Amino acid sequence: MTELQNDRLVELFTTLCSINSPPRQERAVVEYVKGFLRGLGLEVREDNAAEVVAGDANNLVATLTANITGAPKIFFSAHFDTVEPNPNLKIIIQDGVIKTDGSTILGADDKAGMSAILEAIRIIVENNLPHGQIQLIFTVCEEIGLKGARALDLSLVDSDFGFVYDTGPPVGTVITQTPNHDRLMVHLLGKPAHAGVEPEKGINAIQIAAHAISQMKLGRIDAETTANIGVIHGGQATNIVCPEVFLEAEARSLDRAKLDAQVGHMIHLFEHAAHLYGGEAIIEIERHYEGYTLTEQDVPVQVVRRALKRLGLDAPMRPTGGGSDANVFIARGLPCCVVGTAHQKIHTHEEFVLIEDLAKSVDLTLAIIKEVTEMR
């Protein structure tokens, strides 16, 4: 990319980051992106995801009509929402690094991915470069359970395969394996009583929870499996034997049998502790997302690897312990792979991007499009 293109890429990226867009509040950034894409001549459509996710914005699907024939139809995807609000964002650009003053997140997850995609499309249109049909699928509410991807109206999507820009560098990293992920919502019921007058008549739900958790395997279970208790709350006052506790937990594993075993272990301990103290455990389990495994034989992976080679770059193929919209897309029949972009130290106030990596992401996107055009 030229210096002038770098400057406008930085402007695009920082503009996107400056638009506050936590989950369920993405309308302002959706409107900005709609205007940007319509200005380039793309057909832009929204679905009705807002109703499903209880938010103020929908998923956006934009289509750039092919100017050649015979090439596969592809999509690029990123998400609008950031992990937390950043309404008072203060951006610092210094020595090729874009970051904040440390008081908020930057929002590069996933606006680094989104800006790379948008800038590449702008270059394609401005220079009338050859391309097949390209769709952009930008989702809401990714950070709170991939909700936008789950609500995506697939009737708007007409693509053979695609690329989800939502992991960190090196630019072009391909995520080849992700875990299966279960969530547990646990409600432990005890019995209230006056803690100072007749505590023996009560059943303390906090004690039930403590007994179960003290014996539970948590953290890193093995190389493929993790588990965590992330939320716990209950109780009313110190003079009341706590009658109920609510917990939220999770388990993940690259091996589905190991996941089932870990979840079974956690359920057993909660139920056993409740029975031991005379209480009750009500447990709901939700498959948060299905895992997937890709190889170098999968077409999206092949395309990224060839595009990297075209640029003289290399990047690892690796598994991850997290999920993305790609998990939902693949489960819903949209072949794709996750591609590394520029964001680093995501979900922290130390988040930053290198301008060099932003530019590489644009170059990679253009190289992917060129590779696809040559698949005719």
C-alpha span between 365 and 303 (Å, rounded) = 11
Q: Which two tokens stand for residue 190?
A: 């005890």
C-alpha span between 277 and 233 (Å, rounded) = 19
CA 282 to chain centre: 29
Strand segments (E) across the chain: 43-46, 60-64, 74-79, 91-94, 97-100, 134-139, 161-167, 174-178, 180-189, 219-222, 225-234, 244-253, 280-289, 292-293, 317-319, 336-340, 352-354
C-alpha span between 277 and 207 (Å, rounded) = 8
Nearest CA among 38, 9, 34 for reference residue 116: 9
Backbone angles phi and psi of 169, in degrees to 5: -70, 170
Q: Are strands 292-293 and 280-289 parallel, antiparallel or unpaired?
A: unpaired
Instruction: Count CA within 13 A, CB hemisphere, residue 101.
Output: 6
**Annotated active-site positions, please?**
81, 142
C-alpha span between 53 and 281 (Å, rounded) = 29
| Cis peptide, bond prior to residue 170, ω within 30 of zero | yes
